Amino acid sequence: MADTPKRPGKRRVEGGRVTPKGGPSKDGAKSSPKRTTAPEASTRYTPRVPTYQKVSPPWVPGLMFGFWGLGIAMIVANYLQLLPGAVTNWYVFGGLGLILAGIITATQYR
């Protein structure tokens, strides 16, 4: 292993760049000019959402925390063998489903 390079050298392609770099092309035509003005404003009116529609009812946070509490309680009660039947994965899935319902409720709170 004398003086052999690990990678081959760069290959030179004849003809150069295929697309113009940004200046005038070879045939003398100018490239497209850059936009210097802002786009026109839309004439369509979109009314604001009234504030009375943005407020959630006061029971939404209670429902959210209720779902979370019931889900955690179901999972803990399953592992402490306080639920009827044997320790099963169905109680864990039910608890996780209640926690997920609490998360979904939290995303709807305004």
Crossing angle for the helix pair 89-107 and 59-79, to the nearest 10 degrees: 160
106 half-sphere exposure, CB direction, 13 A CA radius:
11
Q: Note whether residue 93 is domain-resident.
A: yes
Tell me the C-alpha distance between 81 and 69, whole Å: 18
Provide the domain limits for residue 81.
Answer: 53-107
Within a domain: 69 = yes
How many other C-beta atoms lie within 10 A of the C-beta of residue 73?
13
Domain membership of residue 101 (yes or no) is: yes
Lowest-confidence range among 3-12, 66-75, 100-109? 3-12
Q: What is the mean pLDDT of residues 57-68?
A: 95
Q: How many domains does the chain have?
A: 1
Q: Which two tokens stand for residue 78?
A: 């399953």
**Amino acid code (one letter) for 106:** A
Instruction: Look at residue 9 and tell me if it is in a domain.
Output: no
The band of 4, judged by pLDDT with boundaries at 50, 70 and 90, is low
Give per-residue pLDDT as tens, 66-99.
999 999 999 999 999 999 988 999 999 999 999 9
C-alpha to C-alpha distance for 83 and 86, rounded to whole angstroms: 8
Query: pTM for this structure?
Result: 0.53
Residue 61 in domain: yes
In a domain, 8, yes or no: no
pLDDT of residue 16: 67
Q: What is the pLDDT of residues 11-43, one digit of tens each?
A: 776 776 677 666 655 555 555 556 567 767 777
Residue 73 lies in a domain: yes
